[in-house]
Chains A and B, each alone.
Chain A
Amino acid sequence: MMEISQYLKKTISPAPLAVFRICFGLMLLGSLLRFWAKGWIESLYIKPIYFFNYYGFEWIKPWGEYTYVLFVICILSAFLVAIGLFYRIASISLFLSFTYIELIDKSTYLNHYYFISLLCFLLIFLPAHTYFSIDAYRNKSLRAILIPQWNIDTIKFMMAILYFYAGLAKINSDWLLHAQPLSIWLPARNDMPIIGFLFNFSWVPYLFSWFGCLYDLSIPFLLWNQKTRPWAYLAVIVFHLLTALLFPIGMFPHIMMVAALIFFSVQFHEKILAKLTCLWKLPISKDSSSSVYNPPAYVSKLLGLFFVFQLLFPFRYLAYPGELFWTEEGYRFSWRVMLMEKAGYAQFTVKDTSGQQLVVNNTLHLSTLQEKMMSTQPDMILQYAHYLRDYYAKMGFKSPQVYVDSYVALNGRLGQALINPNTDLAKEQDTFLHKTWILPFHDTIKGF
């Protein structure tokens, strides 16, 4: 206990946190503008007829055309966070608006969006505006030259969890022994200049798999350790540039490359800020205070709870029977990244007692992305079945029954039925309990 209280008393310059705030805000700003420019607000949040809610978040509704307003709020908040103006309010509104957007539709779930939401949450409670910010420039009493060291370590710790858990998830027989799904994904890039030909060799996916696993498991420690840090950061650059080149994963590699700078020393960050000051001829208040920032007492407790949750939640899959990759019960929010090549096909039949029957054309109800996501994920299949039940009840079916003919291929295995075709999904409830109507997986994947 002594050590913990000693640790909590340690202080450090807020420079790394200030740099992180600026970089993170700007990266997020860029991501959101890119999202807008690609027309994805329209195609993902306005056009679809139906949205897949998260369990317990059914009250989150799409805003229709006003989704653009939501994005404007989010973009503005990201900008305010970056420059450190109205920081507390901006960080809260950034967290709320970004998270709201992510909660609208499960089919857009990405681990790195979840990661961004969590970082936004942390930033609400961190004194990232006490240094090199407009707030601090305008309000002397905000300024601090020292903040608790654990304030910065929370960000590092969150990144460490992401990497380490992503590494743990790779310790499984598909990834390490069969180099799946990289054995499928890498040959797809064999026409790349210079390195493309490498992907024609069947040992290359093994090399990438093992390297990726070791990278994820070790990189947090290597970044944390001052001696290994420059090498580790080089590895971060190489690894993420490579993933950016090889896979369609958007801004994530760039965000990670920038976020990993947080591990560098105070001097490093001071130099960056000095360059920025010099480059943009920023006015600097000479009246430097010597105050130490003391966070409210509840913050350490709250964030302590937050991290306990973060450490435990990814292991909830252990509470479910069956193969995790197959049932996906406890799969999301667990840093399971790029582990599966999963494709599926789900054809629904709606019937009623009066003998009416039809095969549903999914494209009438779902976007292509939604159909693709739904067809491999049992909880979404059930949600969609309930939507169909209600839809066809309105269309004149008397207490419609909904059955699905599903077929899913996972990591190079031949496809098999995912859902029991004799289960009337209209009658099944969505709960956190195991879904007994998921058919067993005809293989074993060993490991985490």
Chain B
Amino acid sequence: MECILWPCFVYSIKMKKYLLIVLTSLLWACGSNGTGTTEIPTPIEDGKDRKPILTHLADQVIIPSYADFKVKFDAMQQQSDVFSSQPTQANLTSFRSAWVEAYVAWQKVELFDFGPAEKQTIRNFFNIYPASENGILANISDPNANLEVPASYAQQGFPALDYLINGVGKTDAEILAFYTNPTEGVKRLAYIKRLTTRMNTLLTKVITEWNTTYRDTFISKTGLDISSSTSLMINGFVLHYERFIRSGKFGIPSGAMLNGVPSPEKVEAYYKKDISLLLAKTAHQAYVDFFNGKAVKTGAEGPSIKTYLNALKAQDSASGKNLSDIINAQFEASKVKIDALKPSLYEEVKNNNSAMIAVYNEMQKATRLLKVDMTSAMSITITYTDNDGD
């Protein structure tokens, strides 16, 4: 009985007394919130709670955006099936316009690269460009080609469809001939069907998970640790701007990133050409709207990254300006440069590349604000590693 497990307990009686005092005062401090008095927290302080933000973004932005995209996607898949059964000029035209609408709607969900989308790595299967022509042609001859491996990314999704409906011939007649070919036509149409079916499967998985379990998981993981919703969301969000909007749409085709050598063939929707600017504009606007928490249905702004930064009083200490205003101003500066471009970014890279590089440079400034200033103000570590600090 003399043996007590831990030496601290030598002082046990004294210690107990002190602990009691501390615990009581802590409890008193905690208990004083919400009991009796009604004039406690001000609305500004509430803005620091992440649950309302996550809830608003899930319910008013992410889930409705996916629903909108699904409608456009289904329409495209339907037109694709019609075209597969009857590869005529009229059906090609309707397939193309449905493809454009779906591709535009995709730009409004591609940025949600966290949660189910990250789990399915849907982006890799939907929008890696430039498309691999040789890979696509090889897959047409081999209906069992593996479409799950990284090497297959550029052989599927919207860029592959772009090639298949806009790039396999110089004229519509040549394109139609590609599919009406007596020996190969059926296989080629089957590949289109395989691609749209696969896209549908992946998209359905992502949407189903958001609509069932993930929405609640998303809004309940309110911490800022490595697996929290906010951390995953912000990491995906920042990465998306840097890698897929700044680099993918402008930096790489313009050559601003490598050797200064322009690569016009690396623009998005290279075969369709005249929608590349529309896609970029849509993606950029969706990005800005997400930052500001703009509800998809009503267009009204709600709790968002912007309101969170404001609640944290993230400011430039020199000018007293809100960081969120500075970021929005930089988005606007990028937008002005984007709006100055002509519809085909392919042509812009070839003839007006300095305007492309100007967009890249503005976006570079926004990238720094997002990646360094915003994450630092939010105490979120970008490029997460699990380690101790001091």
Footprint of B on A, CB under 8 Å?
19, 38, 40, 43-44, 108, 110-112, 183-185, 187-191, 194-195, 197-202, 230-231, 234, 238, 247-252, 261, 268, 271-272, 275, 278-279, 337-338, 341-345, 356-359, 367-369, 371-372, 407-409, 412-415, 442-443
Contact = CB atoms under 8 A, between A and B. Distances in A.
A248 B222 CA distance: 17
A443 B319 CA distance: 12
B368 A407 contact: yes
Chain A CB within 10 Å, residue with most, of B3, B371, B390: B390
Contact of B373 (A231, A272, A415): A415
Contacts of B379: 184-185, 187-188, 341
B14 A408 contact: no
B385 A372 contact: yes
A429 to B, nearest CB: 28
Given A191-B223, A341-B379, A412-B314, A359 B387 contact: no
B201 to A, nearest CB: 31
B150 to A, nearest CB: 16
Given A249-B389, A279-B3, A271 B10 contact: yes
20 contacts: A43-B385, A184-B379, A189-B224, A191-B223, A200-B46, A234-B19, A238-B22, A247-B389, A248-B388, A250-B388, A268-B7, A268-B10, A341-B379, A343-B376, A345-B368, A367-B385, A371-B383, A372-B381, A412-B317, A414-B316
A231 B18 contact: yes
A234 B135 CA distance: 68
A111 to B, nearest CB: 5
Contacts of B381: 372
A243 to B, nearest CB: 10
A231 B17 CA distance: 11
Given A200-B48, A367-B385, A414-B323, A252 B377 contact: no
Contacts of A197: 33, 41
B383 A191 contact: no
Contacts of B383: 368, 371-372
Chain B CB within 10 Å, residue with most, of A38, A112, A251, A343: A343
Contacts of B260: 357
B300 to A, nearest CB: 25
Return the 5 tightest CB-CB contacts between A and B, nearest first.
A250-B388, A272-B7, A343-B376, A188-B379, A191-B222
B123 interface: no
Contacts of B318: 413-414, 442-443
Given A111-B390, A202-B313, A415-B368, 15 more contacts: A110-B388, A200-B41, A200-B46, A234-B19, A268-B7, A272-B10, A338-B390, A344-B372, A345-B371, A345-B372, A357-B259, A367-B385, A369-B385, A407-B372, A414-B317
B316 A252 contact: no
A200 B7 contact: no
B317 A413 contact: yes
Contacts of B30: 194-195, 198
A159 to B, nearest CB: 15
Contacts of B272: none
Chain B CB within 10 Å, residue with most, of A191, A357, A369: A191
Nearest to A363: B383
Nearest to A414: B316
B390 A415 contact: no
A443 B377 contact: no
A185 B378 CA distance: 8
B4 interface: yes
Contact of B376 (A191, A194, A341): A341
A211 to B, nearest CB: 14
A197 B379 CA distance: 17
Given A40-B387, A202-B313, A443-B317, A184 B376 contact: yes
B145 interface: no
Interface in B40-63: 41, 45-46, 48-51
A108 B375 CA distance: 22
Given A200-B45, A275-B3, A345-B372, A191 B317 contact: no
A249 B18 CA distance: 26
Nearest to B375: A343
B28 interface: no
B29 to A, nearest CB: 8
Nearest to A112: B390
A249 B376 contact: no
Contacts of A442: 318
